[in-house]
Amino acid sequence: MIKILGFAGSLRKDSYNRALLLAAQKLVPDGAEIEIVDIGSFPLYNEDLEASLPAAIADFKAKLVQADAILMVTPEYNYSISGVLKNALDWASRPYGSNSFDGKPVAIMGATSGTVGTARAQYHLRQICVFLNAYVLNRPEIMVSSVADKFKDGELVDDKTKQKVREQLVALMAWTRQLHKD
């Protein structure tokens, strides 16, 4: 069983990105499962706290290390990822020498009310993943725009998007098997 750890970068109760993550959890094919972790309660990154990591951060880092793959669902805030998501990534990368993303297969999705489907945020996130030494799946990309048409009462209802989500999860599973071959 491939264990995927998933998280979304929005705190909003009615977040489309969390709804997309929940849809992925339901759509994941046999042979994999997605555990969702809430990154919204993490303290702001502060190097002074590294000497005694807050429990939520130690737990997050342990889950990342144990996961076979990671799924990040990002909103786009001002052409980049949200502070909430960046904060989680900064914690995951530290203390120096203890980068919990090191060598992990990663998939990225995003949803926006705008028209560019979080493309700009996703490409920033891919750049961050270079320093994290995470291996981001190239395609299919999942950039959900005009969300109002695709979600109803917090559920993804658009069949084309559902199909794309399934395809990305299948590709992530194959990518994970390929990277874990040794």
Ligand X SMILES: Cc1cc2nc3c(=O)[nH]c(=O)nc-3n(C[C@H](O)[C@H](O)[C@H](O)COP(=O)(O)O)c2cc1C
Interface positions with ligand X (CB under 6 A): 10, 12, 15-17, 75-79, 112-114, 116
Q: Which residue is nearest to ligand X (CB)?
A: 114
Tracing tokens 């929940």 back to the chain, one arrives at 22
* Closer residue to ligand X (CB): 94 or 150: 150
Q: At 156, which helix (H) or strand (E)?
A: strand 155-156
Closest CB 28 distance from ligand X, rounded Å: 20
> Where do the H-state alpha helices sit in the chain?
16-27, 55-66, 83-92, 119-131, 159-179
Provide the residue type at 27 as one letter.
L
* Nearest approach, Cβ of residue 123 and ligand X (Å): 12
For 104, the token pair is: 């992990």
Q: How far is the CB of 131 from ligand X (least distance, A)?
A: 22
- Residue closer to ligand X by CB (options 43, 114) is 114
Smaller CB separation from ligand X, 134 or 144: 144
118/121 Cα distance (integer angstroms): 5
Partners of 110 in the β-ladder: 143
Q: Which is nearer to ligand X, 67 or 147 (CB)?
A: 147
